[in-house]
């Protein structure tokens, strides 16, 4: 069974009792345990051997890997003044669970893509191409991801989508399109399944022109 099938077939009844150890930003450990009645109880376990310091600084960097097509974070997508200064008219939201901040100011398209190697991204790509082209006919487009404490935000899903779009628009092979996207966001690296699919569709992408 694939990871995607496991996620889709998940049931709360399959949960097992576990002990969770949480390390706070201040360096203390909190142990959470669930009792027989399903009630979660927490206790302070003292100072952890290692602490961490999350990066909570806003990410207002915005790149333009293709003329009038921009890539930016959730922070960018929630900054009305910045969006208007750039001239954004359309926003492609690939940030799972993040609402559209300014529906009265911009045209939005939400695309739910799981960052899993066996996720079929082809239908999502076709949907996004149409929206991006619509946006370019009327103004400028922002593709945005979510901001989180993990290090892969804005690396895989939005990167794969923009690689595919640039492959189609500039008739480039995957690696060449990836190099272009990395000029706007150097850390972009689609997961291995996305890479495999983009290479598989490479011929079709680089020979397909806008209708």
Global pTM exceeds 0.85: no
The answer to whether residues 14 and 83 belong to one domain is: no
Q: For residue 56, tell me if it sits in a domain.
A: no
Domain count, the chain: 2
Annotation marks residue 148 as catalytic? yes
Are residues 42 and 90 both part of a single domain? no
> What is the domain extent for residue 28?
3-47
Predicted confidence (pLDDT) per residue in 147-166, tens digit? 544 434 567 889 999 999 99
* 31/107 same-domain check: no
pLDDT tens-place string over residues 88-142 = 999 999 887 788 999 999 999 999 888 888 899 999 998 999 999 999 999 999 9
Which one of 148, 150, 163, 187 is the catalytic residue? 148
**DSSP of the chain, one letter per residue?**
--HHHHHHT--GGG----EEEEE-TTSEEEEEEE-TTS-EEEEEEEE-SS------S----EEEEETTEEEE-HHHHT-HHHHHHHTEEEEEE--TTPPPS-TTTSEEEE------TT---HHHHHHHHHHHHHHHHHSEEEEE----SSTTTTTSHHHHHHHHHHHHHHT--HHHHHHHHHHH-TT----HHHHHHHHHTHHHHHH----
Let me know if residue 15 belongs to a domain. yes
Q: Assess whether 90 and 118 both reside in one domain.
A: yes
CATH of the domain at 108: 3.90.190.10
pLDDT tens-place string over residues 76-91: 899 999 999 999 999 9
């Amino acid at each position: 069974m694939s990871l995607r099938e496991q996620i889709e077939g998940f049931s709360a009844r399959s949960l097992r009792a576990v002990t969770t150890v949480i390390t706070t930003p201040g360096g203390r450990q909190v142990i959470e345990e669930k009792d027989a009645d399903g009630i979660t109880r927490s206790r302070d376990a003292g100072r952890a051997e290692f602490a961490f310091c999350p990066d909570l600084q806003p990410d207002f960097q915005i790149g333009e890997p293709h003329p009038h097509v921009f890539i930016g974070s959730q922070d960018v997508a929630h900054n009305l003044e910045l969006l208007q200064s750039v001239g954004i008219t359309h926003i492609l939201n690939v940030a799972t669970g993040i609402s559209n901040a300014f529906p009265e100011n911009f045209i939005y398209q939400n695309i739910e893509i799981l960052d899993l190697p066996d996720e079929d991204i082809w239908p999502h790509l076709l949907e996004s191409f149409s929206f991006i082209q619509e946006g370019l006919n009327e103004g400028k487009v922002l593709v945005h991801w979510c901001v989180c404490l993990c290090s892969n935000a804005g690396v895989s899903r939005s990167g794969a989508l923009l690689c595919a779009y640039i492959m189609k628009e500039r008739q480039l092979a995957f690696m060449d399109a990836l190099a272009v996207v990395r000029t706007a966001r150097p850390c972009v690296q689609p997961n291995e399944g996305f890479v495999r699919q983009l290479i598989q569709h490479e011929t079709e992408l680089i020979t397909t022109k806008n209708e």
